Amino acid sequence: MKLSDINHALEVAKRAARAGGEIARARLSDPGYLKWTGRREVETEASLETQEAIVAVISAEFPNAGILAKLGPEDATVPVDAPELWLVDSASGSLNFAHGIPHFGITIALRAEGDIRVGVVYDPCRDEMF
């Protein structure tokens, strides 16, 4: 993957994180409840909406890339052999998010040519991107 491609992917990841972050911030006090997915993991309506926004930005720029999103869909084929694979967690710290605690993040990474080439962590409550 060329440096220009990596830089483009990084900009897309940042845009996607910010798009998801807008929704997460707006829904922090009303995340909606869907289901518990583990002892300390909850899936909310808002985290699904956040994921959809992230995936929409990525898909518009990388229509042929695979996307592995934490919240599924559960019946989706996992594209582990895709030349470009985006990894998305729309609410890392989902229990905090579900309780309206502003300590969670959005994580997005791109694996290309077998290696992680791009990664961002975005804290939408503080508007900090790492």
pLDDT exceeds cutoff 90 at 126: yes
Residue ranges covered by each domain of the chain? 3-129
Condensed to tens digits (0 to 9), the pLDDT of residues 21-70 reads: 999 999 998 888 777 777 777 788 899 999 999 999 999 999 999 999 98
Q: Which CATH number fits domain 3-129: 1.10.10.60, 3.40.50.300, 3.40.30.10, 3.30.540.10?
A: 3.30.540.10
First to last CA, the chain: 21
Question: What band does 128 get if pLDDT is binned at 50, 70 and 90?
Answer: very high
Is residue 20 over pLDDT 90?
yes
Distance CA 115, CA 120 (A): 15
- Residue 13: CB atoms within 10 A of its CB come to 26
The model scores a pTM over 0.85: yes
Specify the DSSP element, H or E, that contains 48: helix 45-61
The pLDDT of residue 108 is: 98
Tens of pLDDT, residues 74-118: 777 777 778 899 999 998 888 888 888 899 999 999 999 889 999
Tokens of 90: 């729309």
Q: Decide: 13 and 6 in contact? Cβ < 8 Å.
A: no
